[in-house]
Structure 1
Amino acid sequence: MTTTPRQPNMAFELALLLALATLWGGSYTFIKLGVATIPPITLIAARTAIAGLLLVVIMRMRGVTMSTDGPTWRRFIFQACLNSVIPWTLIAWGERFVDAGLATILN
């Protein structure tokens, strides 16, 4: 018995895309507001810590365990620095001098 793939619901897919764009674009505005009173490194450290804690909670709820060996954690730290810490810190630092909209476009 073969199953035919379902056709995507275009309205639902567009609503998801709009939600994603709103969340993604909104982060630049909130960073712009945050760096007015909080240093960029502190802001991004707090943002990353909150996201990490949320992911740990979701993993616990799903019963997923984290690796405990050193080489894996070194790779995690390297990837976190390249994909999150360095770019978002630079974006937050840059938003001290440019508008959030321009930072969004330049990114």
Structure 2
Amino acid sequence: MPTTAQRALPAPARGMTWIPGGSALIGSNGCCPEERPVHPVVVDGFWMDEHPVTAAAFRRFVKATGYLTVAERRLDRRTTPAPPRARRAGPVDEAAAVTGGTPWCRCCHRAPVC
């Protein structure tokens, strides 16, 4: 349910529903080091459209508001981190190429992901 303050306000737009917040443990202490450690996260509640937004509806929204997606916005080097350096293809990339796109985790050798 929305918090008391959020409950006092109507949904931001017709056709939206409240998604309650909660907590969960995410991560893994298992095979893949990038997933370590298991740790708690808390997500605030939020409003979400009840149905997927169609391309046509998004186009109307952009036309009406002038909205620019993050990809369309001019980068501000003061707040945008530098792009990562190029890297060579590694075992996961090569395995994906060999298996037709299914990535294999090189630490536990399972598909599609650890």
Determine if the TM-score, normalized by the shorter chain, exceeds 0.5.
Answer: no
TM-score, scaled relative to structure 1: 0.21
Largest Rg, 1 or 2 = 2
Q: Higher helix share goes to which structure?
A: 1
